[in-house]
């Protein structure tokens, strides 16, 4: 019954408070699910329209919606924006004094608020109002922060599991832009809402052309690329401050309006760079990853990665800053093993070193792909693209394939016989009949595929395996010591004799050079 009444109000509320006539894909279903009192997980790319998914229900529910958000710096802006739309909202965090905080608690008690933004570490101070009589919904923004599998783990998010325990009747809606499968499951488990309905929006940004080039002479390549587009705005991401400054200087020397941006600049200097970029006074910003958060510029025409990002989440987020206006844009990544090695060095000794390395491996696989890059990118986020995209360098310049079914069958059946529980190194060792201690200790020489791939080199197996992962026949379970696991489609190869096309291992550099088109 409540559902029908609430649905009637959805469109008028959307129009009245947000000024929109239509919902974006999934928004209406998500909002309805929340209004029905169900726990919900929303995975939607940045700019997709996540906020309305909890802001609109907040307006239709009795009590307040508590919004957990990690970014204290952005809370005020968000609340100001809501207030400007006539929505009663406020925030609660450690930047406020006790008096201000008490005023907000009073507002909650007297039902004067619809939304309250709160930093996770401030939740403890809200104990008195964390009651079902005050709260109708809890929204958890940037929900990937709860998971150490994610790329932006925040310890303060880890206590949020108590919310479902102390407010069992209150629906939780968790939202994030970036979550691979493992992270997604981890979010749900930690929030104690494993039954939550998941809404996965398309991550496809069709207008962004994807390209990877070998990094030889990359500065020259960049000068050439940017030189052909002096009227267009672009971002060049570098790993180091020095890199940003070197490239900016070289571009400037060519008469291009370029600036460096990195954490070594003062707050004012950084604000100035951002402003100049937004108002087109600067055309190119050479930046470390710090640049771009919260910048809403629709006509960024290209994003270049001078260095390889440390994972696909980061890469996707960064290239996503191009082409927000929907017009043709370019993402150009330079690939070299030197970067991979340096990135590995950064992860050394980190608490989640294995995880970070596994993610780096996926990034590397993307860079070395012989299949449609968009398929790989979307596959990473659990999205399956049926056809090749036609808008990436591999699609435009495909490598030559041979019938690799036998190799695929050997690899996949070996993974199956190892019960989806071993990482790629062991799988290849078993195939090659290796005699090392870890193989013998587990008695893997008894396995039927042991030694079935002796005649093929380690490097070649690695190459084939990368392609099988990229083609979706198997995947790496980051949360299980990077074990290789078969996917559903693997059965088609193992039991229905489906053909698998692979490319011969070649010198990667030579292979991508041919596709050096912009
Ligand atoms: P996210 O949090 O997913 O990054 P936002 O919630 O900030 O995205 O929304 C991105 C932009 O899209 C905002 O300017 C928002 O007002 C707009 N938007 C959201 N929903 C709609 C809609 N149904 N129609 C038009 N614009 C919308
Ligand atoms: Zn493609």
Residues having CB closer than 6 A to ligand 1 are 20, 22-24, 27, 44, 46-52
Ligand 1 atom nearest 177 alpha carbon: 3
Query: Is 156's pLDDT higher than 50?
Result: yes
Three-class DSSP category at 239: coil
* Ligand nearest to the Cα of 31, by number: 1
CB-based burial, 184-215: b 16+ in 10 Å, e otherwise: bbbbbebbbbeebbebebebebeebbbbbbbb
pLDDT at 149: 72
Ligand 2: distance of its center to the CA of 375 in Å? 7
Nearest CA to ligand 1 atom 13: 49
Of residues 204 and 337, more confidently modeled: 204
Query: Is 421's pLDDT higher than 70?
Result: yes
Ligand 1 atom nearest 46 alpha carbon: 4
Average pLDDT of span 423-443 = 94
Share of the chain above pLDDT 70, in %: 95
Nearest CA to ligand 1 atom 20: 49
Ligand 2: distance of its center to the CA of 209 in Å? 9
- pLDDT tens per residue, range 268-288: 999 899 999 999 999 999 999
Sign of the torsion angle spanned by Cα atoms 252, 254, 256, 260 = negative
Query: Is 177's pLDDT higher than 90?
Result: no
Q: How far apart are the C-alpha atoms of 55 and 69, rounded to whole Å?
A: 13
pTM of the model: 0.63
Task: From 19, 45, 49, 298, give the residue whose CB has the most ligand 1 atoms within 8 Å, as the site to mutate.
Answer: 49
- pLDDT tens per residue, range 467-516: 898 788 998 786 677 789 999 999 999 999 899 999 887 543 333 333 33
Residues near 195 by beta carbon (within 8 Å), at least 6 away in sequence: 39
pLDDT at 6: 59
Q: Which of 79-93, 100-114, 434-448, 493-507 has the lowest mean pLDDT?
A: 493-507
- pLDDT tens per residue, range 376-414: 999 888 788 889 999 999 999 888 889 999 999 999 999
The one-character DSSP state at 392 is B
CB 2 within 8 A of CB 36: yes
Identify the bridge partners of residue 300 per DSSP, sorted by sequence position.
Answer: 233
Task: From 31, 51, 176, give the residue whose CB has the most ligand 1 atoms within 8 Å, as the site to mutate.
Answer: 51
Three-class DSSP category at 469: helix
Q: How far is CA 189 from the centre of its chain?
A: 19
Q: How far apart are the C-alpha atoms of 277 and 300, rounded to whole Å?
A: 10
Query: Is 60's pLDDT higher than 60?
Result: yes
Nearest CA to ligand 1 atom 23: 23
Average pLDDT of span 370-375 = 92
Nearest CA to ligand 1 atom 25: 20
- pLDDT tens per residue, range 336-358: 877 887 898 888 888 888 888 99
Average pLDDT of span 109-134 = 94
Nearest CA to ligand 1 atom 24: 20
Q: How confident is the model at residue 180 (pLDDT cuts 50, 70, 90)?
A: confident
pLDDT at 230: 94
Q: Which of 15-24, 169-178, 190-199, 331-340 has the lowest mean pLDDT?
A: 331-340
Q: How far apart are the C-alpha atoms of 92 and 97, rounded to whole Å?
A: 10
Q: How confident is the model at residue 38 (pLDDT cuts 50, 70, 90)?
A: very high
Q: Cα–Cα distances in Å, from 153 out to 70, 156, 163, 319, 506?
A: 11, 9, 19, 21, 38
Mean pLDDT of the chain: 89
Residues near 106 by beta carbon (within 8 Å), at least 6 away in sequence: none
- pLDDT tens per residue, range 221-256: 999 999 999 999 999 999 999 999 999 999 999 999
* Ligand nearest to the Cα of 391, by number: 2
pLDDT at 151: 67
Query: Is 164's pLDDT higher than 60?
Result: yes
* Ligand nearest to the Cα of 377, by number: 2
User: What's the ipTM?
Assistant: 0.97
Average pLDDT of span 198-204 = 88
Of residues 503 and 257, more confidently modeled: 257
pLDDT at 1: 42
Q: How far apart are the C-alpha atoms of 472 and 455, rounded to whole Å?
A: 25
């Amino acid at each position: 019954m409540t559902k029908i009444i609430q649905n009637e109000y959805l469109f008028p509320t959307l129009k009245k408070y947000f000024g929109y006539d239509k919902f974006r894909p999934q928004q209406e279903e998500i909002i309805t699910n929340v209004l029905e009192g169900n726990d919900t997980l929303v995975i939607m790319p940045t700019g997709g329209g996540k906020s309305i998914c909890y802001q609109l229900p907040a307006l239709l529910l009795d009590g307040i919606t508590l919004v957990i958000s990690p970014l204290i710096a952005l809370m005020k802006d968000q609340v100001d924006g809501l207030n400007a739309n006539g929505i009663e909202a406020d925030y609660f965090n450690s930047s406020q004094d006790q008096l201000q905080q008490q005023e907000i608690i009073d507002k909650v008690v007297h039902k004067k608020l619809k939304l309250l933004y709160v930093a996770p570490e401030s939740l403890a101070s809200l104990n008195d109002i964390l009651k079902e009589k005050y709260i109708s919904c809890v929204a958890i923004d940037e929900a990937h922060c709860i998971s150490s599998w994610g790329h932006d783990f925040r310890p303060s998010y880890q206590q949020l599991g108590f919310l479902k325990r102390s407010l069992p009747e209150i629906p939780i809606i968790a939202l994030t832009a970036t979550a691979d499968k493992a992270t997604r499951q981890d979010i749900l488990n930690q929030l104690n809402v494993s039954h939550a309905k998941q809404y996965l929006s398309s991550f496809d940004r069709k207008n962004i052309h994807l390209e990877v080039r070998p990094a030889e002479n990359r500065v020259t390549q960049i000068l050439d690329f940017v030189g052909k587009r002096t009227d267009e705005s672009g971002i060049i991401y570098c790993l180091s401050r020095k890199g940003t400054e070197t490239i900016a200087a070289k571009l400037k020397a060519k008469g291009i309006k370029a600036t460096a941006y990195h954490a070594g600049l003062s707050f004012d200097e950084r604000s100035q760079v951002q402003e100049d970029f937004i108002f087109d006074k600067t055309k190119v910003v050479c930046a470390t990853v710090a640049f771009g958060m919260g910048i809403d510029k629709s006509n960024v025409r290209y994003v270049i990665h001078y260095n390889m990002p440390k994972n696909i989440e980061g890469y996707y987020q960064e290239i996503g800053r191009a082409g927000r206006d929907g017009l043709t844009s370019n993402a150009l990544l330079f690939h070299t093993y030197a970067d991979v090695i340096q990135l590995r060095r950064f992860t050394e000794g980190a608490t989640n070193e294995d995880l970070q390395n596994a993610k780096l491996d996926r990034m590397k696989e993307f860079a070395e792909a012989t299949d449609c890059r968009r398929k790989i990118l979307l596959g990473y986020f659990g999205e399956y693209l049926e056809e090749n995209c036609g808008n990436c360098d591999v699609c435009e310049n495909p490598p030559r394939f041979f019938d690799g079914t036998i190799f695929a069958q050997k690899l996949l059946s070996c993974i199956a016989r190892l019960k989806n529980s071993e990482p790629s190194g062991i799988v290849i060792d078993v195939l090659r009949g290796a005699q090392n201690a870890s193989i013998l200790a587990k008695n893997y020489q008894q396995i039927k595929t042991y030694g079935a791939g002796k005649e093929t080199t380690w490097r070649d197996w690695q190459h084939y395996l990368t392609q099988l992962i990229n083609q979706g026949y198997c995947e790496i379970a980051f949360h299980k010591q990077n074990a290789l696991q078969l996917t559903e489609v693997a059965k088609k190869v193992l039991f229905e004799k489906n053909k698998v096309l692979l490319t011969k291992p070649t010198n990667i550099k030579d292979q991508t050079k041919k596709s050096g088109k912009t």
